[in-house]
Amino acid sequence: MEARRTREPRIAVAVVTMGNRPDEVDALLKSVAAQDLAPARIVIVGNGCRLPEFARRLSLPGEVTTVELDENLGCPGGRNAALARLREFGDVDVVVDLDDDGLLVDADVLRRVRDLYAADPRLGIVGFRIADENGETQQRHVPRVGSADPMRGGYVTGFLGGGHALGMPMLEQTGDWPAEFFFAHEETDLAWRAADAGWKILYAPELLLRHPKTSPARHAIYYRVTARNRVWLARRRLPLALIPVHLGVWALLTLVRTRSAAGLRAWLGGFAEGLRRPAGERRPMRWRTVWRLTRLGRPPII
């Protein structure tokens, strides 16, 4: 049995916003302030925007830092900016990322996160359960193939971008978010790197983030960047033999599911872009990681 940490992990909260949801961010930060464990630090990133005054005047626990980026770097780029600022301080062990339109309903979320990391030094990622105001969790937010039960926790192969925790020691080993993805599949890229390095990914449904029900297709760039990034993901992280299998299965599923002709054209353009443009660093996972992901219920061909 692995030894417990010698001290309790210090928790930071990071929120990235484009400045267009001031009321939602205000409510989110109030829910952070209501936690029974105060975060050591809070970083609020204005992603290509000036932060509204609420980010400066709201009474929050811990040390609050604001970062205003000159351009929108996408969700992964904005989160990397938060990580860079946290590393300047050097006193945080776990960062909790929260979508700017989410809400922590329960007051013990950060304490539970701290306790999970304190109990297991090899815990890398903790995924939260996401549910709307009616308590419903969309199927795409359940991190298991074929499982419709959002209350079934345990070790998994991926996590939800809207609410999760990342261990800073893990990030030092795996690297940060793939900023070039901008939007879509950045969580899978990070999760596969974490799994390949031997870190555990835990889905903890007792950690609830309330979030409005949405469709990812609401974003104008959804079809193009989803296709491009999926190709990049396969080229970067999969053994050569699995790349055509993964992309072939995914292409077939996309053709069956897509009802929009315009969306399908954008998807085909993104797929071609993913093949044509450099995918970045290629660091394929080991075959034992493929087997580990398969045993956890999601082989990396789905």
pLDDT per position as a tens digit, 188-229 = 999 999 999 999 999 999 999 999 987 665 555 889 999 999
Residue ending a domain, among 157, 189, 214, is: 214
Q: What is the pTM of this model?
A: 0.93
- 22 shares its domain with 156: yes
**pLDDT value at residue 147:** 65
Residue ending a domain, among 214, 239, 274, is: 214
| 295: in domain | no
Task: State the amino acid at position 17 in one-letter form.
Answer: T
CB distance 102 to 80 below 8 Å: no
- 33 shares its domain with 171: yes
Distance in angstroms (rounded) separating the CA atoms of residues 25 and 285: 37
- 88 shares its domain with 208: yes
Domain of residue 40, CATH code? 3.90.550.10
**pLDDT value at residue 166:** 98
| 153: in domain | yes
pLDDT tens for the chain, residues 1 to 302? 344 456 899 999 999 999 999 999 999 999 999 999 999 999 999 999 998 765 555 667 778 899 999 999 999 999 999 999 999 999 999 999 999 999 999 999 999 999 999 999 999 999 999 999 988 988 888 888 776 789 999 999 999 999 999 999 999 999 999 999 999 999 999 999 999 999 999 999 999 999 998 766 555 588 999 999 999 999 999 999 999 999 999 999 999 988 888 889 999 999 999 999 999 999 999 999 999 999 999 999 98
**pLDDT value at residue 1:** 36
**pLDDT value at residue 272:** 96
| 293: in domain | no
- 123 shares its domain with 255: no
- 203 shares its domain with 225: no
Task: Please count the structural domains in the chain.
Answer: 2
| 201: in domain | yes
- 122 shares its domain with 257: no
Rg of the Cα atoms in the chain: 19
| 299: in domain | no
Which residues form the domain of 244? Answer: 217-286
- 77 shares its domain with 88: yes
| 188: in domain | yes
pLDDT per position as a tens digit, 129-162 = 999 998 898 888 888 877 678 999 999 999 999 9
- 227 shares its domain with 96: no
Residue 239, by phi and psi: left (phi above 0), alpha (psi -120 to 50) or beta? beta
- 127 shares its domain with 192: yes
Residue ending a domain, among 182, 214, 246, is: 214
| 292: in domain | no
**pLDDT value at residue 284:** 98
- 250 shares its domain with 107: no
- 43 shares its domain with 98: yes
**pLDDT value at residue 4:** 47
CB distance 73 to 186 below 8 Å: no
- 229 shares its domain with 244: yes
Sign of the CA dihedral 224, 225, 228, 230? negative
| 296: in domain | no
